[in-house]
Structure 1
């Protein structure tokens, strides 16, 4: 089956494009190119396209030597007027010059009229009928259709033939879009000849190609060939003019911007085939409104609008309109085009400085008036109103050294408002000259090649009017020094006010309005003070060593002023360090207590403190300063019994001023002081840390010890020859010693001094033993009990007492309590004889 090309239509412009795409032959680049064209070529008809880049990569000059043709920069060849070619070939050349190397090349173009080849073929077919049909393969040949063809219709498109027609009667059919699919009935085929026809014109923007299938079958339905795919491409016709995406586009740019500033980019759309001359667009500004001077330009290819001058001034014209044109066919005059309007708005910048409407102002105000408006001033500014570029900021540059004036901006009117905020005194100044400047909130933006203008200023003369005014308390606060402890009944200089008219204090009356602790009384005529109390720096009414007294001075007309007298007290070392008198030591936690003295005097008469213990207390306690002498640690020398103790201590401040304190120390079996069950009481008999014996107790102990030695010596001299068990009756003394602990005349005795033994000692001979002491073994157990001032040898006579058992170190689980050997008693009493002797001597002196 074969496929044959169809004849062109009668419309020459459509035929031209149809045949152009059918054949472009390149014989040799830059030498010779052959193009098959119709014999009739209308004006501005596309003849063909040559590939200039195969000759030169970049060409700066392209020129045809035949005036009948012109060549564009992309290699497209167009006719300049209507041409009718003869049967002979027509040729011309194109000269190309390189843009960089200036290399020159020539391309020869040969135009072959299609009518001559068709005539030669017809003549050959007449001479040799065999040539009317030759064997061809069942294969597709590319075919193109021209968009918007004018007919006549039906228009022959292509012919398909099968080689099987030599042996069979073949019928042809087609299917696909344009036949039995949308758009229906666009194509049909002659079932006998295989000629395919188009019934109407085609819009490429709707259907750019048609994939069809051709079939060859016999009368009985036999298909000797496979279905043949056919692709009909629709060649583009430049039938769509480009258009702007939006008809009205708005851009903004700052006024006074530099030349070449980008304003915006316009874009256009062309529905024709992309990457062809039909969609190669060029932009142009047709008109600027207002049109003078020309401020804007546009890049023809990208559509970017830029400024061309630095003279854009919003204050002269704030909006420009540009009438834009976009044209296809690379901007050629025969290309399709459209127009649009671009609006460019100028953004305001602060390029105009504000200026006062007057060069000077005069106003007046009464003296002593405050918070009063005295003047309003206006400015002119050509920048955009109600923006930081035009809002004014006013400053007082000179004349307000005392802070009497304040200037502000009225946000509604942009005026300057001048006010008096501090009283003016006519007696000091009758007029004041102010210099005032103005700027904008936004920083000034100078135009290119211009200078920043100086600040605009004006002067204001403020005249002060005299008025009858009351007394003045100047300064409002007066300070004088006084010593701590200044006695009562002494006179002090008070607060003095003056009449500004007479500059004297005559006729003024004074009265106290604040004296928190009532330290003073005031003389109503002179304002002098007299102390009614001792001035105490440590008073709760003194803050930061200062005591304040407020005084009001009143003239004859009842006008007054108020002043404050500050008495600054110099510190005097009149307070000794004080300390908490009752402390607790929890032995389960620690064996010390922290002492934190307080001194009401100032730092110069306070810490570091010096801590001293009495000699009697230093045997059982130690004290160690901490924190640079601000605190101290009181520690036990040895574990004391759980009881109350008196500890004399002396504390000195930095200047040596000291106080003696008796601390009540509670030694308790606890973890925290709140757990201790022993309660502090002022009537409690505080126990000394050791047992002290009187003179008579010492004498009794000495005699008892001598008697005990005699008895023991006698017992050791007795020998026993046999085992004898002797038990004495319960009512016999059996070598029990009763120790007396009576002192002097008994002034310290509260209970009976001598008590009977709590247990009888039995001496039993249990066996015969041979020893160095006469061969008789003696086992002796003796019990002693001594009571003196609540101290006993028996550990069961009350918790917390110092006992022989506690000294010996025997617990309740050890030997039988209440019975001790002589050596135990001797070791307990001997160290205490000297202490009792000393104490007895002290008591006898008292």
Structure 2
């Protein structure tokens, strides 16, 4: 029998039972319809002795609660019940009216008889009851003969809903090796049928798949373990099918199922195990320290933290040479090198390594060893190694006064291989670019190759190369630090360039300067300087020097009454001697300038120049002069900038801007055949003056006064016969002074005056040359008059210098 037909027969049986119950209720209702529903208060009940008939006060409305079976599938409307009023005498004057939930759409009433029918199939799970209102009216007047009354139609439940698992399917986890009865998960099924009526919603649980490993409690739905010692390593997952059946699990009930996936979680119940009891690896002796030598791994059937392991060396001759640590990602034991290997010293090592669980479950302590051991043999391979210096860093000392070829020290290297190849030594010139040192190739003796200077380089860091003679590709390197010891080869000098001022109001015995010294040398006991005046200056009547015994010296005045008009500058030679062996000294000149000072002793005006400049000019005049000079400088700079941008000279004469050859007569070369090109633009700046340089050690007799070119000509070096030029320039200056269109500031005027020809004509001997020469010198024939002009203006010596340069 199919589930659908089974469900139909069950519904029919229940329907039949309900019909019987309904029929009995309707009969009881019909019996009670003649009983008034609204008795008067305190109305006595009379009982007649003869027929024992109960007499009550009449009621206005007769009603009862009705029931209707859900899921009715018949063709005719389902009879629900009957309403009747005792006002109705069966004469047809009363009609019944129905209002409320489902009136006229679901429920109908016969207005003549009061019979109620259900016209549609009802579902209790959608709506369990309906509230309606009934009223009896006069058919003729349609007026109510009784007040409206309310009644309920309840939908009678049948078992038409199977149990469902709203939270399914389920995922659960339980530790492996759990004892029997360990709770795994609780499943819960719901039934939409009425739990208050019959057993339609009473659910019972059972397990369809998953025995004998798990069980389920019938009433609670709790799934528990049913088999002891379930091993995750053997099977880690189970699929259970749980059934929920209503009607208390009886025959004819409806059922639903869900699945439960149970995963066994891991516990640390397995020790680590090496796949082999012994391992062997080859290791080259040239392997650097901290390199990985080998990797071994113990296997553990557990997972996660339960499979984490620790490795350690418990014995063997490799203790202190090797170390083993676990790799956190792969759980391998990584063996690394702690010390350098040497095949010639030891060719193999043996290690006994233990692997153990890091986390041990307390439940399994004492049930067996949770570790395993294996032997690892490391075979050292011989490698051709480069030479090794007996001292990787050698320290040597040499005096900076050492002569070339002085032996400083010796380095030594050996071949660590059994071949014991001879060694040749050399200096890595990248570390000795100046080649200060040499090394003997066979012995390793280092000597000086150049004079040393500690002040330039106090320590030389050079690399020595040791090369095997049998195999030049094997090169060892060593460091040699050569410290250059200081000797007293530098004299002391002034620490700074002093600017010393002396007030005119200073009296005798006043300290005007305190000087100190520096020395490039570094004596072991520190510097000690001695200050004094030179023998020539010791007897002067102006100044004296006092050695302060603290590497400083004080300059004091011997007298007062210094005047800058008389002598604006004094030069005082100071002798400084160091304490070296042998001691060195130097003479340093201190310039002392005489100044006019204010009341606080601050210099205001120093030297004769300032005195003369300020003696005859007021502040306003000086300001005007300085402004004119600044304006002139700005104009000159602008002209120079414009000319440079145009790539033109400052003074341009397009007609004479040619390049000519100038014959030089100031050499012993090839005579007139030697010529070189010369730019004639330089000779056209004849208005430029050469500055006369004064000697610094001689006080000028006359101060240099600034010259205003607009009002006075520059002080040219005039020859006795240059009056014509002087008159010409004075006339042009007068014209410029009275010219109203001239600019209102000083400017540089340029004048060109050819003058008369020279009586000496040309000074060159070109005219006496043989005409047989293949060279033509006619283009120099006009230089005679030019030289005469230059000689008239500057003198013969200066003109010759111009031509020769």
Q: If the length of structure 1 is used for normalisation, what is the TM-score?
A: 0.49
**Matched residue count:** 546
Shift of 1:271: 0.8
Whether 1:242 aligns to 2:163 is yes
C-alpha distance in 2 between matches for 1:788 and 1:11 = 141
Change (3 A) 1:323 1:132: farther
Change (3 A) 1:486 1:154: same
The match for 2:409 is 493
Change (3 A) 1:534 1:17: farther
CA-to-aligned-CA distance 1:630-661 (integer Å, 9 cap, x gap): xxxxxxxxxxx9x9999999999999x99999
C-alpha distance in 2 between matches for 1:318 and 1:17 = 56
C-alpha distance in 1 between matches for 2:530 and 2:162 = 110
Change (3 A) 1:209 1:546: farther
Shift of 1:498: 1.0
C-alpha distance in 1 between matches for 2:395 and 2:406 = 15
The match for 1:157 is 81
Change (3 A) 1:299 1:404: same
The match for 2:143 is 223
Whether 1:193 aligns to 2:113 is yes
Whether 1:523 aligns to 2:477 is no
The match for 2:423 is 508
Runs of 5+ consecutive residues of structure 1 not aligned to the other structure: 1-8, 20-36, 39-112, 586-594, 620-628, 630-640, 665-684, 692-785, 801-846
C-alpha distance in 2 between matches for 1:581 and 1:228 = 129
Alignment of 1:82-231 (within 5 A): 135-138=58-61, 142-147=65-70, 154-161=78-85, 163=87, 169-180=93-104, 184=105, 186-198=106-118, 202-224=122-144, 225=146, 227-231=148-152
Shift of 1:529: 0.8
Change (3 A) 1:238 1:279: closer
Whether 1:359 aligns to 2:363 is no
CA-to-aligned-CA distance 1:47-103 (integer Å, 9 cap, x gap): xxxxxxxxxxxxxxxxxxxxxxxxxxxxxxxxxxxxxxxxxxxxxxxxxxxxxxxxx
Q: 1:345 aligns with which of 263, 266, 274?
A: 263
SS in 2 for 1:243: coil
Whether 1:14 aligns to 2:31 is no
Whether 1:381 aligns to 2:300 is yes
1:147–1:203 CA contact under 8 A, matched in 2: yes
Shift of 1:522: 0.7
The match for 1:311 is 229
Shift of 1:276: 7.1
Change (3 A) 1:231 1:350: same
Alignment of 1:433-448 (within 5 A): 433-438=350-355, 443-446=358-361, 448=363
Q: 1:253 aligns with which of 144, 153, 174?
A: 174
Change (3 A) 1:374 1:159: same
Shift of 1:582: 7.7
1:367–1:426 CA contact under 8 A, matched in 2: yes
Runs of 5+ consecutive residues of structure 2 not aligned to the other structure: 1-12, 36-46, 502-514, 534-539, 544-549, 551-563, 598-604, 620-805
C-alpha distance in 1 between matches for 2:335 and 2:21 = 84
SS in 1 for 2:363: coil
SS in 2 for 1:564: strand
C-alpha distance in 1 between matches for 2:114 and 2:416 = 129
CA-to-aligned-CA distance 1:764-800 (integer Å, 9 cap, x gap): xxxxxxxxxxxxxxxxxxxxxx998447599545799
Aligned alpha-carbon RMSD (Å):
6.5
CA-to-aligned-CA distance 1:140-184 (integer Å, 9 cap, x gap): 75444444579996424241427587999221122444443xxx4
Alignment of 1:628-639 (within 5 A): none
Alignment of 1:286-685 (within 5 A): 286=207, 289=210, 291-292=212-213, 300-301=219-220, 303-305=221-223, 311-328=229-246, 336-349=254-267, 351-365=269-283, 367-368=285-286, 377=296, 379-383=298-302, 424-438=341-355, 443-446=358-361, 448-451=363-366, 453-466=369-382, 469-474=384-389, 477-482=392-397, 485=400, 487-488=402-403, 489-501=405-417, 507-514=422-429, 515-516=431-432, 517-533=434-450, 539=456, 547-567=461-481, 569=483, 581=497
The match for 2:755 is none
SS in 2 for 1:14: helix
Shift of 1:204: 0.5
Q: If the length of structure 2 is used for normalisation, what is the TM-score?
A: 0.51
C-alpha distance in 2 between matches for 1:404 and 1:362 = 14
Shift of 1:471: 4.7
Shift of 1:446: 2.1
Change (3 A) 1:232 1:355: same
C-alpha distance in 1 between matches for 2:500 and 2:114 = 128
SS in 1 for 2:122: coil
Shift of 1:464: 3.1
Shift of 1:324: 1.9
C-alpha distance in 2 between matches for 1:299 and 1:602 = 103
C-alpha distance in 2 between matches for 1:299 and 1:613 = 121
Q: Quick check: 348-357 or 282-291, which moved more?
A: 282-291
C-alpha distance in 1 between matches for 2:574 and 2:102 = 124
Change (3 A) 1:258 1:156: closer
C-alpha distance in 2 between matches for 1:324 and 1:603 = 101
2:313–2:319 CA contact under 8 A, matched in 1: no
